[in-house]
Amino acid sequence: MQAFLQQINDAAAYLRQFNYHHATAGIVLGTGLGQLVQQVQVEKSIPYHEIPHFPESTVESHKGQLIYGHIGQVPVIAMQGRFHYYEGYTMQQITFPIRVMKALGIRYLLLSNAAGGMNPAFQKGDLVLLTDHINLQPESPLRGLNAPAFGPRFPDMSRPYDKHLGQLLEQAALAKGCALKKGVYVAVTGPNLETRAEYRFLRMIGADMVGMSTVPEVIVANQLQLPCAAISVITDECDPDNLQPVAIEEIIAVANKADEKLSGIFADVVAKMK
Ligand code: HPA
């Protein structure tokens, strides 16, 4: 445990040399969703493998670099590419960057992801604000971290997504002529997609969309009392009675298409959150 704290401090100390500690916002960009970086005046971009103790991204569609720069006047850290459980990392590795960004002083976190839409009102390309989540991944990222330095032992999760940030995202979307939908995200491990019976099950337990990320990071953000908000891009429609085969390339293509709108919304909110 001491070792893990030391690793967080080492990574933060390394990044302080390059001004990352000035950032007020942290942003995690999901599969096929890297365009936000074009709206950042990038001052530094460090491949994950150069940062002490950072896991290395293994997914091709994720670039794997930690960016520091400004959106408008606001200094931000953006993770271009995140870590997933299906890549073989531990939950602690997946959420390590969140702890490092918090140690550097970010005040809030925005996350994006690609997700399968199970709510029949959702269509490919829709942007959905997460209102809540269900964790079906096999482990909590807080398991075993028993020191007070990590935050409360039993964090409250009655409102995991920050209401104010959500409202700002909704307003920014509306200003662009796009009404965000709202939904409950369920996290599974992947990397396989779901069977028809699984989509039916996930819908029955109360989820509107399904994906392989975000929830571990949000749990840690809650432990750290770091306000967060997340948006899913619906990349495939998961109707168990009419399920079409889907390839990851299609998922990425749909995410790419929605990325400009999503990035614009994130950028507007960050620029306003000074
Ligand atoms: N299931 C799980 N994860 C996903 C999906 C899906 O259908 N689409 C995009 N990510």
Q: Would the pLDDT of 62 be above 60? A: no
Residue 140 · residue 58 · CB < 8 Å: no
Q: Is the CB of 170 under 6 A from ligand 1?
A: no
pLDDT-derived band at 57, boundaries 50, 70, 90? low
pTM of the model: 0.94
Backbone angles phi, psi at 129, to 5 degrees: -80, 130
Q: How far is the CA of 47 from the centre of ligand 1 (A)?
A: 26
For residue 181, which amino acid is it? K
- What pLDDT sits at residue 34? 82
Closest residue by Cα to atom 10, ligand 1, is 115
Closest residue by Cα to atom 2, ligand 1, is 211
- Please state, in angstroms and rounded to a whole number, the distance separating the CA atoms of residues 96 and 162: 21
Q: How far is the CA of 210 from the centre of ligand 1 (A)?
A: 6
pLDDT-derived band at 186, boundaries 50, 70, 90? very high
How does DSSP classify residue 2? H
Backbone angles phi, psi at 184, to 5 degrees: -100, 130
Note the residue count of the chain.
274
Q: How far is the CA of 250 from the centre of ligand 1 (A)?
A: 11
User: What is the dihedral angle through the alpha carbons of 183, 187, 188, 194, rounded to the nearest 10 degrees?
Assistant: 10
For residue 185, which amino acid is it? Y
What's the token pair of residue 73? 């006047």
Name the average pLDDT for the chain.
93
What would the mean pLDDT of 185-207 be, rounded to a whole number?
97
pLDDT-derived band at 2, boundaries 50, 70, 90? confident
Closest residue by Cα to atom 9, ligand 1, is 115
- Which of 212, 215, 242, 243 to mutate to test ligand 1, by most ligand atoms within 8 A of the CB atom? 212
C-alpha angle with apex 212: 236 to 150, nearest 5 degrees?
A: 150
- What pLDDT sits at residue 58? 65
Q: Would the pLDDT of 59 be above 80? A: no
What's the CATH superfamily of 2-271? Nucleoside phosphorylase domain (3.40.50.1580)
Q: Which of 238, 249, 233 is nearest to 30 (CA)?
A: 233
pLDDT-derived band at 146, boundaries 50, 70, 90? confident
Closest residue by Cα to atom 3, ligand 1, is 211
Q: Is the CB of 235 under 6 A from ligand 1?
A: yes
- In 3-state terms, what secondary structure has residue 97? helix
Q: How far is the CA of 211 from the centre of ligand 1 (A)?
A: 5
pLDDT in tens, 84-122: 999 999 999 999 999 999 999 999 999 999 999 999 999
- What pLDDT sits at residue 240? 94
Q: How far is the CA of 139 from the centre of ligand 1 (A)?
A: 19
30-34, 99-103, 162-166: segment of lowest average pLDDT = 30-34
Q: Would the pLDDT of 150 be above 70? A: yes
pLDDT-derived band at 32, boundaries 50, 70, 90? confident
Report the largest interatomic distance among the alpha carbons of the chain, rounded to a whole angstrom. Answer: 54
- Please state, in angstroms and rounded to a whole number, the distance separating the CA atoms of residues 39 and 71: 6
Q: Note the helical H segments in 122-186.
A: 163-175
Q: Is the CB of 180 under 6 A from ligand 1?
A: no
What would the mean pLDDT of 62-67 be, rounded to a whole number?
82
Residue 98 · residue 221 · CB < 8 Å: yes
Residue 269 · residue 172 · CB < 8 Å: yes
How does DSSP classify residue 224? T
How does DSSP classify residue 208? S
- Which of 82, 193, 242 to mutate to test ligand 1, by most ligand atoms within 8 A of the CB atom? 193
In the block, residue with structure tokens 């571990």: 216
Domain boundaries, the chain: 2-271
Q: Is the CB of 215 under 6 A from ligand 1?
A: no
- Please state, in angstroms and rounded to a whole number, the distance separating the CA atoms of residues 81 and 98: 13
- Please state, in angstroms and rounded to a whole number, the distance separating the CA atoms of residues 177 and 228: 23
Residue 110 · residue 266 · CB < 8 Å: yes
